[in-house]
Amino acid sequence: MESLRNTHKILMKERTSAIRRGLLDTIDSRARLIAIKGSRGVGKTNFLLDFCKDHYKDDPSCLYVNINNLFFAMEGLFNFVERFYKLGGKVLLLDQIHKYPNWDRELREAYDRFPDLQIVFTASSILRVKSNKYLHGIVEMYNLSGLSFREFLELETGYKFPIYSFEEIVEHHEEIVNDILEKVRPLAFFNNYLKYGYYPIYLEEKSHIDYLLKNINLTLEFDIPYNNQIELKYLTKLKQLLFIVANGNSNINISKLSAQIGVSRATVLNYLHYMKNARLLTLLFDRESDDENGLKPNQVFLHNPNLLNAVCLDQTDSLMIRKTFLISQLCAVAKLNFSGNEDLFVNQKYEVSVRQQGDKGRVRDSVILMTDMIERGKKNVIPLWLAGFVY
């Protein structure tokens, strides 16, 4: 236990977080059991340490622990929690809970046995937490996304910017843009964000492409097979499917994909959903579709433009990258559906189309045009970069 406390102290002493994630201000910090889910690389560990810094900086009754520590293989999670509690512990921060078998049962036992103990844990985005039969009704779950374009600008410029709902952007984008342009020229940073700005690790990594490819492979080779019991011999099929989707035009043909990678249509659908849960892909369904489980999506996109650049390198269409950007920002806070007529149907209310600057194509007045490479918009024409301020 003393060794774990020393590790905690060192991590907190060396804590030099470059950015405060907005999620820190929205979670219920008093809840007894809090789950923070996210994909590889979005900053879950840093989030836990910042949570500790905000609420329990010099409190010896709070402890951060990484479940990867071999110590847990011998002692077990519940036994450790019990000992921590008996020694006066009040707040336990558990990183990478999904690396421990039977994590859900033992967390539930700890929750029931120690009513004045708070546990905050991080987990892979693949893990089912809120619907877990052991934790249903007792856990407060939050999703940690990668950096929004707004957060990236804050990192790069040192300025602070407010968050706006998509509805606020649609209704008041001209005034909002005026306020932002007083501080910064967003387009000067936009292309860099598309290449590497979604993942906070870009501040430390010299080669963001190598880092992203490593995380993609770890997700495909370990996370997805481990959680979905896929045999190792099928890993190549997963990789082939991701590559084909990334290099496509977002519209998919399940039968054609089935033939290309040599698996059944049902398996293709399963793989797409697995990669959606891992936040490698975003699937768009018809607006009448409420239950997404197992359904055929109308369109498929890489989850964010950084992933698209890493998989396709220089072969990706510029407009596809912009569409992926818009979806990556909005999917964190809004309900997105396939539109049919346009690119996107947002919150069951707005039809949205992504356009290049100078595109003269005719469109209905009710359609929101998110337009690339413009600083300001007018009426239903809105700068695409402004979508990065929704979280």
Question: What is the enclosing helix (H) or strand (E) of 351?
Answer: strand 350-355
Query: d(Cα 386, Cα 378) in Å, to the nearest integer?
Result: 13
Of the two residues 99 and 282, the one the predictor is more confident about is: 282
* Planar angle of CA 307, 176, 340, nearest 5 degrees: 50
> How do residues 57-66 score in pLDDT, each as one tens digit?
889 999 999 9
How distant is the alpha carbon of residue 248 from its chain centre?
22
Q: Is the pLDDT of residue 149 over 90?
A: yes
- Shared domain for 113 and 177, answered yes or no, is no
* Overall number of domains in the chain: 2
Name the band, by pLDDT with cuts 50, 70 and 90, for residue 292: low
What integer pLDDT is reported at residue 1 of this predicted model?
Answer: 84
Query: d(Cα 85, Cα 110) in Å, to the nearest integer?
Result: 10
Name the band, by pLDDT with cuts 50, 70 and 90, for residue 204: confident
- Shared domain for 139 and 156, answered yes or no, is no
Q: What are phi and psi of 25, to 5 degrees?
A: -90, -5
Q: What's the domain range around 282?
A: 150-389
Mean pLDDT to the nearest integer, 77-106: 96
Name the band, by pLDDT with cuts 50, 70 and 90, for residue 208: confident
Query: d(Cα 310, Cα 108) in Å, to the nearest integer?
Result: 39
- Shared domain for 126 and 190, answered yes or no, is no
Q: Is the pLDDT of residue 17 over 70?
A: no
Q: What is the crossing angle of helices 305-312 and 318-330, to 10°? A: 140
- Shared domain for 156 and 232, answered yes or no, is yes
What integer pLDDT is reported at residue 63 of this predicted model?
Answer: 97
- Shared domain for 361 and 301, answered yes or no, is yes
- Shared domain for 135 and 170, answered yes or no, is no
Most confident option among 67-71, 312-316, 355-359, 375-379: 375-379
> How do residues 350-365 score in pLDDT, each as one tens digit?
999 999 988 877 788 8
